[in-house]
Amino acid sequence: MVQAFELSLRIAIVWAGGILIAVAVRALFPDQVGLTLYGKQTTLFVPFSRMGFWTCILAAVVVTVLVVFRAMLADIGWRSFQ
């Protein structure tokens, strides 16, 4: 029970940090500043604020998956992951 609580606390902290950083990045970068990707028929403008936002969200998802995967491996008996 203690490990489950610790795991859920770690995931909550990572998500809270990721969301706070994502909101800060979204607030700091204006929507007019970004990266333009040129294709043969069209162009795609990606603002830096959206790239920063989705990067933080993706990092939180990856950390969550890794923590849960490590906990699952520890539950099945692989002690080298602790």
- The pair phi, psi for residue 77, each rounded to 5°, is 115, 0
Q: Report CA-CA distances (Å) from 40 to 34, 44, 46, 58.
A: 20, 11, 17, 29
63, 10 contact by CB (below 8 A): no
The confidence score (pLDDT) of residue 69 equals 81
The confidence score (pLDDT) of residue 80 equals 65
Where are the extended beta strands (E) located within 1-82?
A: 34-38, 43-47
CA nearest 33: which of 43, 47, 15? Answer: 47
**Residue 25: CB partners within 8 Å, gap ≥ 6?**
49, 52, 53, 56
Return averaged pLDDT per consecutive 10 residues of the chain, 82 residues in all. Answer: 74 81 78 84 84 77 80 75 52
